[in-house]
Chain A
Amino acid sequence: MKIRIRREYVLSLVAVLLGLIAGAILMLAIGSNPLKGYLYLFQGGLMSIKRIGNTLATATPLILTGLSVAFAFRTGLFNIGAAGQMLMGGFAATGLALTLETVLPRPLVLLCTILGGTLAGALWGLIPGLLKARFNVNEVVATIMMNWIAFWTVNDGIPAYVRDPNQETQSRGISAVASLKADWLTSLFPGSYINLGLFLAILAALLVAFLLDKTTLGYELKAVGFNRNAAEYAGIKVNRGVVLSMMIAGALAGLAGVVFYTGYATNMQIGVTPSQGFDGIAVSLLGANAPAGAVVAALFFGVLQSGKGFMNAMTDIPPDIADTIIATVIYFAATSVLMERIWSAWRRKRSAKGAAAPAAAGKEAPPPASPDAPAAPKGGA
């Protein structure tokens, strides 16, 4: 088990490396110096305390959507609906924040927004889960549709309930009371967007890891994911597992919405599907569907995301190159099976060459009188 995961991490690292090489080739192709490009890209993400703070803040929702997708994957489900779950989580949190920020003390407001947003995401996962369990509706189709339902719900809900008096296309801004930004944290990373969401994300990663590896529930859900039939044979309630898995995945994405809309941002815009929902698939893939992997992968993507502007400012390289690198990394991570094949074919070839020498030597020696006749050492009769 441990060995298997380690190999997957190696493959992910190779994917990252190949993605960076591909990016370098692209930079060369447009006549820029890739070394300089990467220097500024990583400097942009990491060179100052503020930039590190921003990188962490960018990575925070990615960690959570990555966890959402990874958790679903581990239990045999494909959650494409993280974007919609995130929107609903954000919408619920924003609504709660705006309603409660004037009446409750800060800790209670935060508790309500966090729980409310998480529950809204869970609900958005519950529906496809139920559809899958009850009517065998493919969760990919169902979650994509739920994304659109969320999109239009937010689109109509924001102007109807929480609109900014001056701007029809966005909600009112939440006050510092309801924001996940904390003074002590902001003062550690002055000027950055970093917020308490980071701790929520890390906590969620630990919880998911614990759930998957240490609990009977994780054991059940993984069994359902690996082999539905065997789970059924053993008396595990498969349908309950599917519903629960989708709910947990939805809850994680809902929490991503909370940390994004009430932590990184202060209000919600209509007409925007958060890209973190789909980026979560990439994070999960690169992180080998493991909680720790998702955290590392999200941080890596966070560096690229927050560094690309600086790279663009300092060189002629367009920020799209950073996106292309991300895309290429995803591409290589997704085709890691292929890379593995190439790798093992190459190894086979090498070992065949190594083996060929003694075999050739054997041929020069006189062949055995008859290859099979004396083959029964203990006597056949």
Chain B
Amino acid sequence: MEAFAEPIVEMRNIRKEFPGIVANDDVTFTLRKGEVHALLGENGAGKSTLMSILFGLYQPERGTILVRGKEVRITDPNVANALGIGMVHQHFKLVHNFTVTENIILGRETRRLGVVVDTAAASRRIRSLSERYGLNVDPDARIEDISVGMQQRVEILKMLYRDAEVLIFDEPTSVLTPQEIHELMKIMRGLIAEGKSILLISHKLKEIKEIADRCTVLRRGRVVGTVDVAATTEARMAEMMVGREVSFTVAKGPASPGDVVLRIEGLDVMSTRKVLGLKGFSIEVRAGEIVGIAGIDGNGQAELVEAVTGMRRAEAGRILLKDRDITHDPVRQRIREGMAHIPEDRHKHGLVLDYTIEDNMILERYDQEPFSKNGLLHRPEIRRYAQGIVDSFDVRAGEGVDSLARSLSGGNQQKAIVGREIELDPDLLVAVQPTRGLDVGAIEYIHKRLVEQRDSGKAVLLVSLELDEVLSVSDRIAVLNHGDLIGIVDAAATNENEIGLMMTGVRKGEVA
């Protein structure tokens, strides 16, 4: 991109404060027409806030926004839409039992005679848009019947249908398989070729390197710099983001597996939709090894995790922890027997958001000495324990352990949970998406702690949708597809392609 490309969006000197924290401080950046501009930053660096301001969800305290050279006030998302700004959220906003067309025209129905929704005309237009951008979406399919990747393309179509010129993608690849990511990159290039401009929020340096023209790095609410992606390296961008050098490879020696800690035999688990979500699953996890579970979201991971941790009943099969049958033990019993669980959803399960960090750190052991005695909480001990976790896991919070969990950024919430679980000193650590939504600095740190856990002779079961994570952290990898165990492979002897194929259900050695 050369300097003569005209700016389409300019944000100047944006400042946004939340109680006790400056989310954006004097942020200035320019999106040029026809470029992919990446926004990179740690959690809590202010990327999402900045994009929420551009999309009209927040009002800045200071600063101006120019769209096509004209100063604008974006008071709500409708204004953003009218200005040609569209956003694909990280969590799609689709009605599941509606068709693609119905979802896309929702709120923008073309009507005949004032009342009848004209879906036929809309459907035609969507089909032509889909063909033009190579999105390959069937306008008449129901959302619940199509893949996550296609759902994302529906979101893209939604923006195109509303004539968006500026497309904001919030962490678009976090839910996709490697093949789908590849597909998305192609679509983005197609969009650029058609004259659209893209703002890409991402933590993944590899993606930014692959697709973005320029990259603006934010750190603690301020712009560290805007770089020409072609002229820089991933390492350099990571350093700008974190403020120090970052290592990408997970440093770990070969595993030295010991006794079996977790043994699962023929496990059947119902999904919430009352069908078998996990079928006849068997695996062993030994002390001193990390076993990764790979798979596209919704292929039995949740069922596996919930059955192992005791939050869901097993229909058939056995779960043994250190040779003891725990299949029917309650959650607390399993924790006492040496299991810890970093849950996938930190808001739903991981934290009591309206409790302080101090109270959250004893969620599983408030009833143990020294935190309580005879039913009475012992505050000084609790505080000391919580402070210890906050210190050693670098949890940053405005009011320290007295902060409400709700007030922390996602990354710090996650670090608190990881700290709490590791501090339980478990024989088996079940880590589900432990680095979801975290920046490279935090990811590096959490991976290091997982490996440390392994090296101290503990077993780790890692469930992740991030293939990179599974590949780099695990010693062995089990791949799930539609609730079936497709295969278990040695992490050192496989690659992204093989796992990616297995994730779609192709068994090892079956490659067409």
Cross-chain contact of B366 among A219, A233, A371 (Cβ < 8 A): A219
Q: Which residues of A contact B228 (CB under 8 A)?
A: 380-381
The reply to whether A371 and B30 contact each other, CB–CB distance below 8 Å, is yes
B177-236 interface with A by 8 A CB criterion: 216, 223-228, 231-232, 236
Residue A231 interfacial (CB < 8 Å): yes
Which stretch (B85-93, B271-279, B372-380) binds chain A? B372-380
Residue A215 interfacial (CB < 8 Å): yes
Q: Quick one: given A216-B367, A380-B228, are A232 and B29 in contact (CB under 8 Å)?
A: no
The reply to whether A380 and B343 contact each other, CB–CB distance below 8 Å, is no
The reply to whether B349 and A230 contact each other, CB–CB distance below 8 Å, is yes
Residue A103 interfacial (CB < 8 Å): no
Q: CA separation between A352 and B228, bound complex, in Å?
A: 35
Residue B141 interfacial (CB < 8 Å): no
The reply to whether A234 and B29 contact each other, CB–CB distance below 8 Å, is no
Q: CA separation between A216 and B372, bound complex, in Å?
A: 7
Q: Which residues of A contact B63 (CB under 8 A)?
A: 359
Q: CA separation between A215 and B378, bound complex, in Å?
A: 9
Give 1 or 0 for each of A245-265: 1 = CB within 8 Å of chain B CB.
000000000000000000000
Residue A272 interfacial (CB < 8 Å): no
Which stretch (B123-131, B290-298, B351-359) binds chain A? B351-359
When A and B form their complex, what is the total count of cross-chain residue pairs whose Cβ atoms lie within 8 Å? 118
Cross-chain contact of A227 among B231, B353, B356 (Cβ < 8 A): B353
Give 1 or 0 for each of A125-156: 1 = CB within 8 Å of chain B CB.
00000000000000000000000000000000
Residue A187 interfacial (CB < 8 Å): no
The reply to whether B376 and A380 contact each other, CB–CB distance below 8 Å, is no
Residue A341 interfacial (CB < 8 Å): no
Residue B311 interfacial (CB < 8 Å): yes
Give 1 or 0 for each of B17-41: 1 = CB within 8 Å of chain A CB.
0000000000011100000000000
Cross-chain contact of B349 among A216, A233, A351, A352 (Cβ < 8 A): A233
Residue B404 interfacial (CB < 8 Å): yes
Residue B50 interfacial (CB < 8 Å): no
Interface size of A in residues (CB-CB distance below 8 Å): 37
Q: CA separation between A237 and B367, bound complex, in Å?
A: 13
The reply to whether B331 and A234 contact each other, CB–CB distance below 8 Å, is yes
Q: Which residues of A contact B225 (CB under 8 A)?
A: 375-378, 380
Q: Report B239 CB to chain A, min CB distance, Å.
A: 9
The reply to whether A372 and B226 contact each other, CB–CB distance below 8 Å, is yes
Q: Which residue of A lies closest to B351 (CB)?
A: A230
Residue A362 interfacial (CB < 8 Å): yes
Q: CA separation between A380 and B309, bound complex, in Å?
A: 47
Cross-chain contact of B12 among A220, A235, A371, A381 (Cβ < 8 A): A371
Give 1 or 0 for each of A212-229: 1 = CB within 8 Å of chain B CB.
001111011011001101
The reply to whether A373 and B366 contact each other, CB–CB distance below 8 Å, is no
Q: CA separation between A154 and B240, bound complex, in Å?
A: 74
Q: Which residues of B contact A362 (CB under 8 A)?
A: 13
Q: Which residues of B contact A220 (CB under 8 A)?
A: 366
Residue A361 interfacial (CB < 8 Å): no
Give 1 or 0 for each of A337-368: 1 = CB within 8 Å of chain B CB.
00000000000100110010001001000000
The reply to whether B352 and A227 contact each other, CB–CB distance below 8 Å, is yes
The reply to whether A376 and B227 contact each other, CB–CB distance below 8 Å, is yes
Q: Which residues of A contact B240 (CB under 8 A)?
A: 378
Secondary structure of the B side of the interface? mixed
Q: Quick one: given A231-B352, A234-B363, A380-B226, are A375 and B372 in contact (CB under 8 Å)?
A: no
Q: Which residue of A lies closest to B309 (CB)?
A: A233
Residue B96 interfacial (CB < 8 Å): no
Q: CA separation between A233 and B312, bound complex, in Å?
A: 11
Secondary structure of the A side of the interface? helix
Residue A29 interfacial (CB < 8 Å): no
The reply to whether A235 and B331 contact each other, CB–CB distance below 8 Å, is yes
Residue A1 interfacial (CB < 8 Å): yes
Q: Report B61 CB to chain A, min CB distance, Å.
A: 6
Cross-chain contact of A233 among B59, B311, B356, B402 (Cβ < 8 A): B311
Q: Which among B236, B352, B354, B364 has the greatest number of chain A C-beta atoms within 10 A?
A: B352
The reply to whether B227 and A359 contact each other, CB–CB distance below 8 Å, is no
Q: Quick one: given A216-B372, A216-B377, A376-B226, are A232 and B331 in contact (CB under 8 Å)?
A: yes
The reply to whether B341 and A371 contact each other, CB–CB distance below 8 Å, is no
The reply to whether A234 and B364 contact each other, CB–CB distance below 8 Å, is yes
Q: Quick one: given A372-B29, A376-B225, are A233 and B331 in contact (CB under 8 Å)?
A: yes
Q: Which residue of A lies closest to B372 (CB)?
A: A216
Cross-chain contact of A371 among B28, B311, B367 (Cβ < 8 A): B28
Q: Which residues of A contact B341 (CB under 8 A)?
A: 233
Q: Which residues of B contact A233 (CB under 8 A)?
A: 309, 311, 331, 341, 343, 349-350
Q: Report A213 CB to chain B, min CB distance, Å.
A: 8
Q: Which residues of B contact A381 (CB under 8 A)?
A: 227-228, 231-232
Q: Which residue of B lies closest to A235 (CB)?
A: B332
The reply to whether A214 and B61 contact each other, CB–CB distance below 8 Å, is no
Q: Report B345 CB to chain A, min CB distance, Å.
A: 8
Cross-chain contact of A375 among B226, B343, B351, B366 (Cβ < 8 A): B226
Q: Quick one: given A216-B366, A371-B10, A378-B225, are A230 and B232 in contact (CB under 8 Å)?
A: no
Cross-chain contact of A226 among B3, B349, B352 (Cβ < 8 A): B352
The reply to whether B364 and A214 contact each other, CB–CB distance below 8 Å, is no
The 7 listed contacts between A and B (C-beta, < 8 Å) are A216-B367, A231-B352, A232-B311, A232-B331, A359-B62, A376-B227, A377-B225
Chain A residues near B (Cβ < 8 Å): 1, 4, 214-217, 219-220, 222-223, 226-227, 229-237, 348, 351-352, 355, 359, 362, 370-373, 375-378, 380-381
Chain B residues near A (Cβ < 8 Å): 3, 10, 12-13, 15, 28-30, 59, 61-63, 216, 223-228, 231-232, 236, 240, 309-311, 330-335, 341, 343, 348-356, 359, 363-364, 366-367, 372, 375-377, 402, 404
Known contacts A1-B356, A234-B364, A237-B332, then 18 further A-B pairs from the complex at CB < 8 Å, ordered by chain A residue: A4-B404, A215-B377, A216-B367, A226-B354, A227-B353, A229-B349, A230-B349, A230-B350, A232-B311, A232-B349, A233-B309, A233-B349, A362-B13, A372-B10, A376-B225, A380-B225, A380-B231, A381-B231
Please give me the 8 A-B residue pairs with the lowest Cβ-Cβ distance, nearest first.
A235-B332, A376-B225, A380-B227, A235-B331, A372-B30, A233-B349, A234-B363, A226-B354
